[in-house]
A and B are shown apart, each in its own frame.
Chain A
Amino acid sequence: MTIPNRIHRVLRKGFTGAPLHEPVFQSIERNFVRARWLVKLYYLLSAYTAYSLMSPLHKQARDAVSWDFLWPLFWMPQFDPVRAIGWLTLACFLVALLAFQFPRVLLFRLTFVATFLCVAAVPNSLGGINHGHHGWFWIGVTFLFLPRDAGDASSRAVKMGYLAVLTAAQALLLSFYTMAGLWKISFGILNLLRGAEGNLSPRGFALQLANRVVQTGTDPLLVLPAIDNYWLSWPMFLFVIYAQLTALFVLFRPRLHVVWGYILIGFHLGTWLLMEISFSQHVLFLLMLFVLSPFRPERRSLREAAADLPVFGPLARFALAPNRQVPRSART
């Protein structure tokens, strides 16, 4: 096999779930139906998000006297911010509804992304940027590449193109977690080499939590027990680093999509309980694109999922079924 053919084969199999054998075609039909519902669901939840932002952004606009407008809002100083932000969130809500009702119309998807970019820029235009809405915005950007489908009558190429776009959204979101894990492990190793306490030291997580509390004076529900019992909380932190670092790998293991969805939701639950940092939009897209992943297998098996675990998969495969062959993963 020539090198270009080999690369082509890897890309088809690895990234898009493209079929290598005829029987896989059936799963394309199933996954396509799921994917279309997920796209509808994304715009439905977008409409909800835009509506739920109306009140807090109105309050923020009323309270803020001076702003540090981000570039998507360069035009805002020409208007009264309270009224302009009110119209902006209303427009975002309405186009999200339109995109929900007519997800095949590129214009509505594009207008939603443009208005959502501006809406997401509003709470970040006070000098500091929070990151709760970044992922949601980038899903919208990815969905701009959806092919115009014809429902069940769509050609196989359109269905596969549709699934490739869903895979792209998953890849981008998982890469965010992998980046977060890379930073944590890099600094952890650096501190180990320096002989200083850091992410990989037993007290590392406790230091991180305590620092967050003293920085902003918050009082998270479980922070004190987690600091006092750092020998228990530290392994959880190491597991979080593992789950984040290997997240992108999970893209290629559909049997892990549901499991990783829940693991990462658990991580965001932890950021609230231990740090009072809320990532509600992340919980939504993890439920949508991973717990309800269009590529999730019909039959669920924890044993098979364990066999796919990044790094520990071969060990789990041996420990759970030393005499039985656990099928290797394949995108279905």
Chain B
Amino acid sequence: MHRDSAYRWRRLLPPLLVVGYIAGLVLLDRGTKAEFFPFFNWSLFPQTTAQRSDWALLIYSVDGQRLDPPRLYYDLKDTFDAARSGDSTLMKLVRRLGAAVQRGDEQSVTDLRRVVEDTFMREAQTVEYELVVVRYDPIVRLRTGVIEGIDFVEPFSKAAAP
């Protein structure tokens, strides 16, 4: 009885589903470090090291007020909602922006910048900022705030809406 069709092919479903999911991951990998939703390789916090480098946004001015010294986006908790809530979506967006700048993908840079400026900087009319790579030891930076170095990649500015 158990050889009935209701069971016959479903017994293969567990391995087929796992293998199919992994095949989907591989086949849909577009090589741009962008995931193909809803597939994900579950590479969550895979790497840790004392010499970190990470994409970030360095803010020079907000609504014409210069920041001296310039501050990283997530340090401006009084200005931006996403900084206040520690929203990691922006962090991932900035990584994609950095990857797009690196490969010279102008269209993606324009599209991603629009989301950064219109949505994550909606609290300000004008913002001068730069895409940077910060280098640091995480524990030293946490305890003292010291960043070992900043590589400046590309300056941008959000202009006031017409």
Residues of A whose CB lies within 8 Å of any CB of B are 11-12, 15-16, 18-19, 63-68, 70-72, 117, 120-121, 123-124, 126-131, 134, 137-138, 142, 145, 147, 155-158, 160-161, 164-165, 167-168, 170-172, 175-177, 179-180, 183-184, 186-187, 191, 196-199, 203-208, 210-218, 227, 248, 251, 276-277
Contacts A157-B8, A180-B43 given; 19 further ones with Cβ under 8 A? A16-B7, A66-B119, A68-B93, A72-B37, A127-B93, A128-B89, A129-B37, A131-B42, A147-B10, A186-B46, A187-B48, A196-B49, A198-B48, A203-B139, A212-B45, A214-B136, A216-B86, A217-B75, A217-B83
The reply on B27 being an interface residue by CB < 8 A is no
Contact partners of B40 in chain A: CB under 8 A: 129, 131, 134
Whether the pair A129, B88 counts as a contact (CB closer than 8 A) is: no
The reply on B87 being an interface residue by CB < 8 A is yes
Closest A residue by C-beta to B5: A157
Distance between Cα atoms of A177 and B18 in the complex (Å): 12
CB distance from B97 to the nearest CB of A (A): 8
Contact with A along B1-17 (1 / 0, CB 8 A): 11111111011111111
Residue contacts A-B, CB under 8 angstroms, 8 given = A121-B37, A129-B92, A157-B8, A176-B42, A180-B42, A183-B42, A204-B48, A214-B142
Residues of B whose CB lies within 8 Å of any CB of A are 1-8, 10-18, 21-22, 35, 37-38, 40-52, 54, 74-75, 77, 81, 83, 86-93, 95-97, 111-112, 114-120, 122, 136, 138-139, 141-142
Partner of A211, one of B16, B96, B138: B138
Distance between Cα atoms of A168 and B15 in the complex (Å): 7
Partner of A171, one of B3, B6, B18, B42: B18
Among A66, A124, A176, A186, residue most surrounded by chain B Cβ atoms (within 10 Å)? A66
Whether the pair B77, A217 counts as a contact (CB closer than 8 A) is: yes
CB distance from A23 to the nearest CB of B (A): 15
CB distance from B158 to the nearest CB of A (A): 11
* Consensus secondary structure, chain A interface: helix
Contact partners of A172 in chain B: CB under 8 A: 14, 17-18, 21
Distance between Cα atoms of A265 and B99 in the complex (Å): 34
Distance between Cα atoms of A161 and B27 in the complex (Å): 29
Partner of A138, one of B38, B46, B54: B38
Whether the pair B43, A124 counts as a contact (CB closer than 8 A) is: no
Partner of B18, one of A127, A175, A203: A175
Distance between Cα atoms of A142 and B15 in the complex (Å): 12
Partner of A160, one of B2, B15, B114: B2
Closest B residue by C-beta to A223: B142
Contact partners of B74 in chain A: CB under 8 A: 215-217
Distance between Cα atoms of A183 and B50 in the complex (Å): 18
